[in-house]
Structure 1
Amino acid sequence: MPGNDAARESMLKVVASGAQIEHRRISKEDVNSLHGEVRRWYVCTGTAQRNIILPWLEGQEVLYEDYNF
């Protein structure tokens, strides 16, 4: 796993909880594969990536933080 020991330990805890970590960017296929399973999306990413993702989620509930201050 990339990163320092504290980051590695945190990732191991996430995996131990049953979650899966993907070391890549989200794709449109990822979003489409979850259609109907996810009620609310929380997008935490920079503006450029968010502008790519939001059209994929059109018509769905999406929450995000704006870090452009």
Structure 2
Amino acid sequence: MLRASQILVRTFALALSAASLGACGQRGPLYLPTAPEAAQRATLPETLRPQRGDATPAPVAPPPAAR
């Protein structure tokens, strides 16, 4: 059976989790910016997987030397 301290800790953790999830995010409706200065910003996929400007492969580091 649960003791009063366990119930109190679980209730506090649940309330803290609910408050933190409810407090995140932007207020108001979401929108895509149309201002000219926003045209050159990276999109989410570009941020997660950046593309190199040139077609050359990235340099590969040599493997560590064996002893």
State which structure, 1 or 2, has the greater radius of gyration over its C-alpha atoms: 2
Q: TM-score with structure 1 length normalisation?
A: 0.23
Q: TM-score with structure 2 length normalisation?
A: 0.24
Higher relative contact order (CA 8 A, sep 6+): 1
